[in-house]
Amino acid sequence: MRPQLVHYACLFISLNSIVARSQPISEKDVIGEWHRRDRFVVLLLSADHTYEATWAMGNGMAKGTWKVHENRLTFAPPKETSDMVGHLETLRIARREGEVVLAPARQPPDVHWGPLITFERPRVSRQVERAAPAPVRPAGSAYLQQFISGDFELVHQTKEIDSSVLALLRRKIGSDPRLAEPDQPFQLSDVVEPGNNFPYRRLVVAGHQQSLWFIKYIRGGFAPYGVLAIFSRAGETWQVSFTAFGESKARSIADIRREVELGKYFPGCDGGY
């Protein structure tokens, strides 16, 4: 994602571009600082086999020990918080274009996520190219200002959302546009249990006023995140006027507004639904 997870999802890069070395990689190849390509996670591997990982948006950290075995980097975290809980288990040490990278040990359900959650060494040129995204601010969008300050009639079931708005959202989502209801199970992680066919998204809350709708839902997978989409109407036609992604915990409109104002949401794009 422009270095955001979702924005990079707009730019498909095949997992096949990452090719593991045939010979073992030594521990010295992995010691040091690593940045996940979406810029959300910074990982520091120390020479004493301890590590520290932090979530860039301040939503969690992990500390523990690491080891290398047969081109696999495994973690044993004694302490994890918030979004980092269970986030680091095993990474595959590979080479891409002659450089060592740390790739997912298993392929995510959405194949285009693979490169987004790959760790690379930080480089000055790429830091300029992928500078950490600035959070959205109400002052930057009239539609977000309306969401923050307006009065909305809230709904908590997909059947209560305007059918044209919901249809537009489903078209934007594309494959598997199902939305679980707030009280229904959905595929929160990337570990799919045998026999499960849950939607990857779950509605949190929606609301409307005059010619405006907003929908907040959670997108599950390897790194779950919340999506805030605002729709406006011009004549009889609805359009997506604003999208952002970020925290996945807030359930009420008051809490979502507070998280927006705290800088917990970042600009979205068509690949992030």
Q: Which residues contact 227 (CB under 8 A, 6 or more apart)?
A: 201, 215, 216, 217, 218, 219, 243, 244, 245, 268, 272, 273
pLDDT band at 215 (very low <50, low <70, confident <90, very high): very high
- For 253, the 3-state DSSP assignment is helix
pLDDT band at 96 (very low <50, low <70, confident <90, very high): confident
How far is Cα 67 from Cα 45, in angstroms, rounded to an integer? 10
Q: What domains can be seen in the chain, in order of their start residue? A: 5-129 (2.40.128), 138-272 (no CATH)
Which pLDDT does position 134 carry in this prediction?
86
The predicted pLDDT at position 181 comes to 97
Q: Per residue in 15-65, pLDDT tens?
A: 334 333 445 577 888 899 988 877 678 899 999 999 998 876 556 788 999
Strand pairing of 237-246 and 265-267?
Answer: antiparallel
Residue 24, pLDDT score: 56
pLDDT the model gives residue 58:
56
Q: Which two tokens stand for residue 237?
A: 């036609």
Whether 120 shows a pLDDT value over 80: the answer reads yes
Contacts for 28 with CB less than 8 Å, ≥ 6 apart: none
Whether 82 shows a pLDDT value over 80: the answer reads: no
Residues 6 or more apart whose Cβ sits within 8 Å of residue 88: 43, 53, 62, 75, 77
Residues in the chain: 273
pLDDT band at 105 (very low <50, low <70, confident <90, very high): confident
Measure Cα distances from 125 to 121, 190, 234 in Å. 11, 32, 42
183-202 pLDDT, tens digit each: 999 998 777 778 889 999 99
Which alpha helices (H) appear in 93-249, and where do they start and end?
Answer: 124-129, 142-149, 163-173
pLDDT of residue 108 exceeding 80, the answer is no
In whole numbers, what is the pLDDT of the chain averaged over residues?
81
Q: Poorest-confidence range of 9-13, 166-170, 256-260?
A: 9-13
Q: Where are the beta strands (DSSP E) in the chain?
A: 32-36, 41-45, 50-55, 61-69, 72-80, 90-96, 99-104, 119-120, 153-155, 201-209, 212-219, 225-234, 237-246, 265-267
For residue 107, the model assigns a pLDDT of: 55
CA distances from 233 to 100, 172, 185, 208, 270 (A): 49, 16, 32, 11, 19
What pLDDT, in 10s, does the model give residues 139-182? 999 999 999 999 999 999 999 999 999 999 999 998 889 999 99
